[in-house]
Structure 1
Amino acid sequence: MLRRQRGWTLAEIGARTGLPISTLSKIENGKMSLSFDKLTRIAQGLEVDIGELFSSPPAGVNENFSGRRSITRAGEGYAIRTEHYHHFYPASELLNKRLVPIIAEVHARSLEEFGDLIRHTGEEFALVLEGTVELHSELYAPARLDVGDSIYFDSAMGHAYIAASASPCRVLAVCSGNEAHLREALSRKIASEPIRVSAARPPKTRRSASL
């Protein structure tokens, strides 16, 4: 357990994360479901990756085969409205994913409108689902992408998706790297509070976190 390994008390973790001791105790003992917000606050307070908060699997379990899966129905999921994107996150209840899928509606029509380029760790694959977009980056000339076109790039390189057609523009982006860091990078452009699509269901995980 991370807390005991570092010799911390629940009170010390509470001071680092801003969470009540009672809440931390319930999380540690598997008596409370973990929201993304709580996980992010704990990981940031302890300066660890979210994946380090979870207990090791029971003896005899193959760590390379978890068997987990997630089905996201139409109208379900986690959505964030930003000034230049409408982001939709499928499989939002799965934590510590190696890949982060995002369906983005692109609204900005120029770099001036978009503002500062986005940078985040990892790599990114993007496939245009609707409309025409231009991917601007700090190392390459703008790449014009039509429906069915795709691109793979280093997402630590500053980049921006710009709408290049009058019709709606949608992109499926699949990002590697830390999901919390990715959302933090994107949140700098948030124009409104994160929302859940009305049909979405909250996470049901009961795994205990190793605080």
Structure 2
Amino acid sequence: MKITDSIPKMTDTHTDNRNSNPGATIRALRRSADMTLAQLSAKTGLAASALSKLEAGHISPSFDKLAAISRGLDVDMTELLGSPPQAPAPAPISIGRRVVLRAGEGQHVETRSYSQTYLATELLHKKMTPMVVEVHARTMDEFLAEFGDFIRHPGEEFVYIIEGEVEFCTDLYAPIRLCAGDSLYFDSEMGHAYLKASDVPCRIVAAAAPRGSVEPVIDTFVSMSEKGTAAAEGQPSDASPRRSPRAK
């Protein structure tokens, strides 16, 4: 009897995560959903003319527009930042997924309280959202001035302190101080906040695993930041400062 070793086919993904003009991707996703510009406009609150210009590459979308379009199309926002969807290839017998990011790569989101780099954003349908975070806010007053409330999202979260000291605050427990090398695993539906507790830079690695079909963690984070900032300034939420992802 002849015995043949079968080696699972692996997919090695290494991209620079760049898509300065996601218009073609948005058009392809809209058409695959059998949706007109007028229908997408009604779902997003964006003018059909603006959507048309965006799809044609005549204007670049801001982060809040990408978030609105991702909700209107019911897709992960990272799908808008990738290449236009291709016809699915026949699935191999075994599939392995791997993403390689070099130093400095990722999707960056800056707020007053945190500098976040979301990793493996080109990999869709992930079971968790990995990120590197530098903590800036030192007090709950600073944090609440931006977010208005604790951050919470359905699921679980793991955090490992790389550098500095972080005070972990929740709406259920007394604050606890975490030092470099410490780690924490918690229910992220519990309101929580990270505060800088040392004079040196405070950096953490976190992985958020959502529970069920929920809004992407990055959308929850930015939405809370913008709404909290707008409320503090007495502005409508759509007048709050815009934050755009920076991909390398």
Work out whether the TM-score is over 0.5: yes
Structure 2, unmatched stretches of 5+, are 1-28, 57-62, 80-84, 227-240
Q: Deviations over 1:113-146 (max 9, x none)?
A: 2112111121100000000111101111212111
Classify 1:79/1:108 alpha carbon distance in 2 versus 1 (closer, same or farther; 3 Å). same
Higher helix share: 2
Does residue 155 of the first structure (1) align with residue 185 of the second (2)?
A: no
Cα distance in 1 for residues equivalent to 2:206 and 2:53: 39
AA aligned to 1:196 is R
- Distance in 1 (CA, whole Å) between partners of 2:41 and 2:166 is 45
Match of 2:133 in 1: 104
- Identify which range, 175-184 or 80-89, moves more after superposition: 175-184
| Equivalent residue for 2:76, pick from 50, 53, 60 | 50
Q: Does 1:193 align with 2:223?
A: no
1:87 to 116, 121, 141: 116
Q: Given that residues 106 and 163 in structure 1 are in contact (C-alpha distance below 8 angstroms), is that contact kept between their aligned partners in structure 2?
A: yes
SS in 2 for 1:152: strand
Greater relative contact order (Cα < 8 A, sep 6+): 1
Q: Deviations over 1:1-28 (max 9, x none)?
A: x98999855643454344646977x9xx
Decide whether aligned partners of structure 1 residues 70 and 39 sit closer, same or farther in structure 2, where only a CA change above 3 A counts.
farther
Alignment of 1:1-211 (within 5 A): 9=36, 11-17=38-44, 18=46, 20=51, 40-46=67-73, 48=74, 50=76, 58=89, 61=91, 65=95, 67-115=96-144, 116-177=149-210, 180-187=215-222, 188-189=224-225, 193-196=243-246, 200=248
Asked whether the equivalents of residues 163 and 204 of structure 2 are also in contact (C-alpha less than 8 Å), the reply is yes
Aligned Cα RMSD in Å? 3.6
CA distance in 2, matches of 1:172, 1:159: 16
Corresponding residue SS for 1:189: helix
Rg (Cα) greater in structure = 2
Gaps of 5+ in 1: 27-35, 201-211
Q: Deviations along 1:147-183, whole A, 9 cap, x unmatched?
A: 1110011111110001111111001010012685312
Give the percent of matched residue pairs that are identical in Structure 1 and Structure 2.
42
Q: Compared with structure 1, are the counterparts of its residues 137 and 7 closer, same or farther at alpha carbon in structure 2 (3 Å cutoff)?
A: same
Deviations 1:44-92 (A, max 9, x none): 225x4539x989955x626983x33221111222111111001111212
State how far apart, in whole Å, the 2-side matches of 1:110 and 1:118 are: 15
Looking at structure 1, the residues matched to 221 and 197 of structure 2 have their Cα atoms a distance apart, in angstroms, of 21
Would the aligned equivalents of 2:162 and 2:180 in 1 still touch at CA under 8 Å? yes
2:156 partner amino acid? E
- Residues of 2 paired with 1:39 and 1:195: CA distance? 10
Secondary structure in 2 matching 1:166: coil
Structure 1 78/50 Cα, relative in aligned 2: closer, same or farther at 3 Å? closer
Contact 2:64 2:242 in 1 (8 A): no
Q: Secondary structure at the match of 2:184?
A: strand
- With structure 1 as the length reference, what TM-score do the two structures score? 0.70
TM-score by length of 2: 0.60
| AA aligned opposite 2:110 | R
